Amino acid sequence: MNKETEVYSWLLETYVSKLVDRVNLFSDVQWQWHPSPPVPSAQMLTTSALEWMICDRHHIMEPDAHFHEAIPPTPAERAKVVLSLQAEVKEWVRLLSQIRVEDLDAPRRQFNRLDADNQDVRWMMLHAIDNIVHKLGEITVLSLALGHSGAEPYKNDLPAEAYERLRPHLD
């Protein structure tokens, strides 16, 4: 594994682990809950995260989407989806361990789209990471709304406040 793919591997493992930890806070009833019709449930978000990880991995392994295996149906049960996510991240770690630096710039076109300029293996890796981080954020908001982190009002930890605490020591 090269330095770049080591970083991608670490990011995927770290953020999928955080996603799994957050998903495991949901009860079976909360798993399908959403506060209003336009807001997705934790189940919908986790399914999306899993299927996009599989899709991006397929695009890295085979440039022509016509030859990709079908994405298996995602189980409805939370525990089974978690196991699927954990298995998929292992597939990614295995794949990333085989990618050489010279492979990173190999062109790819998501779903063979002709308008998919500037996509390559690196783009597919970063797309997978971006998607996991995005879904983790959305699931975290649902989790907070359900009180998984307590009932206290949310405290926004801002960098400006940290600098203010440092200010007396800087003068």
Angle ∠(95,134,116) on CA atoms, nearest 5: 65
DSSP structural state of residue 31: G
Residues 74-132 pLDDT 10s: 999 999 999 999 999 999 999 999 999 999 999 999 999 988 878 999 999 999 999 99
Phi first, then psi: give them for residue 107, nearest 5 degrees: -65, 145
Segment 2-6 shows an average pLDDT of 95
* Distances 98 to 10, 16, 56, 59, 92 between C-alpha atoms, Å: 15, 20, 16, 15, 10
| Predicted local distance difference test score (pLDDT) of residue 171 | 58
Work out the average pLDDT over 22-27.
Answer: 97
Decide: helix, strand or coil at residue 4: helix
- What is the H or E stretch that residue 41 is in? none
Model-level pTM? 0.91
Query: Residue 123: which domain range?
Result: 3-170
Q: What is the pLDDT of residues 63-81, one digit of tens each?
A: 999 999 999 999 999 999 9
Q: Quick one: tokens of 47?
A: 């399914």
Of 55-59, 66-70, 166-170, the poorest mean pLDDT is in 166-170
> What is the domain count for the chain?
1
Span between the terminal Cα atoms of the chain, in Å? 46
Per-residue pLDDT, averaged over 25-48, amounts to 95
Bridge partners of 120, per DSSP, are 107
Is a pLDDT exceeding 80 seen at residue 170? no
What gap in Å lies between CA 64 and CA 58, rounded to an integer? 9
At 20, is the pLDDT very low, low, confident or very high (cuts 50, 70, 90)? very high
Contact 2, 100 (CB under 8 A): yes
Confidence bin at 13 (pLDDT 50/70/90): very high
Report the CATH number at residue 87. 1.20.120.450
